[in-house]
Amino acid sequence: MFEIKAKDGKGRVGVLKTKHGDVKTPALMPVIHPRKQALDVSKYGADIVITNAYLIYKDPELKQKAIDEGLHKLINFDGPIMTDSGSFQLSVYGDVEITNKEVIEFQEMIKTDIGTSLDIPTAPFVDRQQAESDMEITIERAREAIDYKKEQNMEMLLNSVVQGSTFLDLRRECAKELSALDADLYPIGAVVPLMESYHYRDLVDVVMNSMKELSDTVPRHLMGAGHPMIFALCVAMGCDLFDSAAYILYAEDDRLLSTRGTFKLENLQEMPCSCEVCTKYTPDDLRAMPKEKRRDLIAQHNLHVSFAELRLIRQAIYDGNLMELVEERCRAHPALLEAQRQLGNYSADLEKYDPRSKKSAFFYTGPESLCRPEVLRHMQKLREMPKKRDLLILPPTKKPYSKFISGKLGEFYIYGAEQELDLENTDFMVLDIPFGLIPLEIDEVYPLSQNDAPKTRDVDSIEFIEDFITEFVEYYEQVLIHSRIIKDLEIGLYNKCSFEDIRYQKDDVKKVKAIADYQFGVGAGDALFKGNIIIEKSKKTGKIRHIYDGKVLIVNMRASDSYLILSKEGAKRLHNAMPYPQNRVVVNKDSEPFALDGKSVFCKFVVECDEDIRAKDEVLIVNEQDKLLAYGKALLGACEIEQFETGQAIKTRKGMRK
């Protein structure tokens, strides 16, 4: 009932299927009050709404009508409807006059599309005992609801809400226990107080820790989040659904939502956007209106900016620049900037989900960009790469660096024990932001060329470079540092290098071997490129296109990101050389003939896979005896392939039978 169409990091565009139609996610569900709704929210972009089953249950007239005619008729909305259970009333009034079982039964009776069990929203920063005992009740009720739904053969989808207050281990525990149950959606609850008090940093901790244990196959809903300012951040953490009464509550209070924050009508000289309301009326017009009309117009504006933001977020996911949007949005308020910095501490979690290559370039928007998954990934890969005796570090040129570096390279200073120069035994790297050291052989590989940063460096970048160099000089006997960068560095003593004619010798074979090692793991380069290596380049661009052993094609190089695409021979060589489970996706016996014929691999047939596989990787498809069946491109990361039971995992390029 939930299918992922596109992804960027932990953010995804998906389709949630319900009896009343499909919903494209990330989506916002406007809160509909069963009695007070004045606005037709579907007119302003809502595909799904949320209302409160408990409020209906408590109101004899509404209750009867809902039972007789159904919920959709009652609130006059024929798309999908989610209902909440009264937990919010429980958290405000301390009590509700309904049991968990009753509210589940009632939601099914009025034909909601998605119902919710009666969780206990535990406020942030309470004592641990309270959080623990509330959580246990919440989990128990989720279990009861799921069992009851199965027993009664109910049709509605079911929410199980993650609680645990601000205790991160409790959030993880709760998410883990709920994931073992069979709920259809996982809301993250009790975050409204964090958002209202601008505790966005704690919000990041709560959401990221809940996400750690929640299945990726299930939609995740951030309950009560309705300010468009935080949508991008929350989508980047993996949230698929938002709901809120903010659009109407803020309107009641003459406040206009925007991705830059909230505007009070009393302070407005100008209307803040280009929606129908903002282009038709001036602030004075609105101020002069009767309260109710003004409220509805502001609510209309509020919905407009919220849905516009979600469209922008979905497009950013398609384009692969969601983090750039997050970085932009998180400059709207210092508390959001703090939240983004906190998200940087979860870079390793995000990296597992980040595709290896994207349509968009990586943009450095500030020091926070240095904590992005791509940077972490490059550092880890670089640590694993084989190293020569010496390292030579160059200042950046235009990209790709290797294209613009030629002739005499200039003056160098030496760090470390001075020895004879041996350029054959020297790694050449460029020092730049945001990727630190970039070996010249692999500089065209995504995102090492496909990025942009200001030439003038901020202090964080300088410190980042210093730390990077301090680590990497340790791996070499002698380090030569170009005179133009020496002044930025505080790493010790240097002597000027007396030899002045240092040049970079381009070598295409070395280049493709280094790319193979970086892409497939150390050793892949030597294994792939042996024999009579012939490298064919594009006449137009001069870029490497095809690599042969004599007449046999081994790999193609993709122009956009310089990753290597295996041929049949390339796949065989890689498979022979790299030990199990590197680069492999293992499929079960039943799907073996399909793989051999070159059919794509579905997640449910995968029994195991190399945990280092990321979306867009070129992979080997093998059986359980490690026989090579086919090769292709991963559409998801390893952790997703292992969890998903529907959808494609690998787009097969060719089966070995053909």
Burial class (CB in 10 A: 0-12, 13-18, 19+), 455: exposed
Q: Between residue 214 and residue 273, which ones bind Zn ion under the rule CB under 5 A?
A: 273
**Which stretch, 79-87, 209-217, 607-615, 633-641, contacts ligand GUN (CB under 6 A)?**
79-87
With CB under 5 to 8 Å by kind, the binding choice for 245 among ligand GUN, Zn ion, none is: none
Report residue 562 as tokens.
């310089």
Cβ count near 388 (within 10 Å): 16
Nearest by Cα to 175 from 216, 123, 233, 129? 216
User: Cβ of residue 342: shortest distance to ligand GUN, in angstroms?
Assistant: 21
Catalytic, 84? Answer: yes
> Please, which residue, 91 or 461, has the CB nearer to ligand GUN?
91
Measured at CB, which residue is nearest to ligand GUN? 189
> Please, which residue, 247 or 364, has the CB nearer to ligand GUN?
247
Q: How many whole angstroms separate alpha carbon 381 and alpha carbon 403?
A: 23
> Please, which residue, 116 or 210, has the CB nearer to ligand GUN?
116
With CB under 5 to 8 Å by kind, the binding choice for 301 among Zn ion, ligand GUN, none is: Zn ion
Under 8 Å between Cβ of 75 and 81? yes
Cross-strand partners of 601? 650
Q: How many whole angstroms separate alpha carbon 442 and alpha carbon 449?
A: 9
Cross-strand partners of 536? 546
User: Cβ of residue 349: shortest distance to ligand GUN, in angstroms?
Assistant: 23
275 near Zn ion, rule: CB under 5 A: yes
189 near ligand GUN, rule: CB under 6 A: yes
Q: How many whole angstroms separate alpha carbon 415 and alpha carbon 477?
A: 9
**Which stretch, 43-51, 143-151, 297-305, 584-592, contacts Zn ion (CB under 5 A)?**
297-305
Choice from 2, 77, 88, 307 touching ligand GUN (CB under 6 A): 88
> Please, which residue, 48 or 636, has the CB nearer to ligand GUN?
48
Handedness of CA 375, 520, 216, 307 (dihedral sign): positive
With CB under 5 to 8 Å by kind, the binding choice for 275 among ligand GUN, Zn ion, none is: Zn ion
- How many residues in the shown chain lie near Zn ion by CB under 5 A? 5
With CB under 5 to 8 Å by kind, the binding choice for 273 among Zn ion, ligand GUN, none is: Zn ion
Q: Alpha-carbon Rg of the chain, whole angstroms?
A: 28
Choice from 142, 145, 161, 557 touching ligand GUN (CB under 6 A): 161
210 near ligand GUN, rule: CB under 6 A: no
223 near ligand GUN, rule: CB under 6 A: yes
User: Cβ of residue 48: shortest distance to ligand GUN, in angstroms?
Assistant: 16
Residues near 41 by Cβ (< 8 Å), separated by ≥ 6?
30, 32, 49, 77, 303
Residues near 456 by Cβ (< 8 Å), separated by ≥ 6?
none
> Please, which residue, 56 or 223, has the CB nearer to ligand GUN?
223
What's the CA angle centered on 334, arms 92 and 339, to 5 degrees?
65
Q: How many whole angstroms separate alpha carbon 351 and alpha carbon 372?
A: 8
Q: Between residue 190 and residue 209, which ones bind ligand GUN under the rule CB under 6 A?
A: 190, 192
> Please, which residue, 82 or 578, has the CB nearer to ligand GUN?
82
Choice from 12, 301, 356, 358 touching Zn ion (CB under 5 A): 301
> Please, which residue, 207 or 278, has the CB nearer to Zn ion?
278
SS3 content of the chain, % helix, strand, coil (to 5): 40, 20, 35
Nearest by Cα to 185 from 27, 5, 315? 27
Q: How many whole angstroms separate alpha carbon 294 and alpha carbon 290?
A: 6
31 near ligand GUN, rule: CB under 6 A: no
Phi-psi region of 558 (alpha: psi -120 to 50; beta: other; left: phi over 0): beta
Nearest by Cα to 422 from 497, 352, 361? 497
Q: What is the DSSP string of 175-188?
A: HHHHHHTT-SBEEE
Choice from 116, 210, 357, 562 touching ligand GUN (CB under 6 A): 116
Choice from 51, 85, 166, 449 touching ligand GUN (CB under 6 A): 85
C-alpha separations of 3 from 16, 164, 348 in Å: 7, 28, 25
User: Cβ of residue 476: shortest distance to Zn ion, in angstroms?
Assistant: 58
> Please, which residue, 234 or 275, has the CB nearer to Zn ion?
275
278 near Zn ion, rule: CB under 5 A: yes
Which of 84, 134, 184, 561 does the annotation list as catalytic?
A: 84
> Please, which residue, 116 or 562, has the CB nearer to ligand GUN?
116
Choice from 47, 84, 177, 213 touching ligand GUN (CB under 6 A): 84
Three-state secondary-structure class, residue 564 = strand
**Which stretch, 66-74, 81-89, 306-314, 526-534, contacts ligand GUN (CB under 6 A)?**
81-89
Contacts with ligand GUN by CB under 6 A lie at: 84-85, 87-88, 116, 119, 121, 161, 189-190, 192, 223-224
Residues that are catalytic: 84
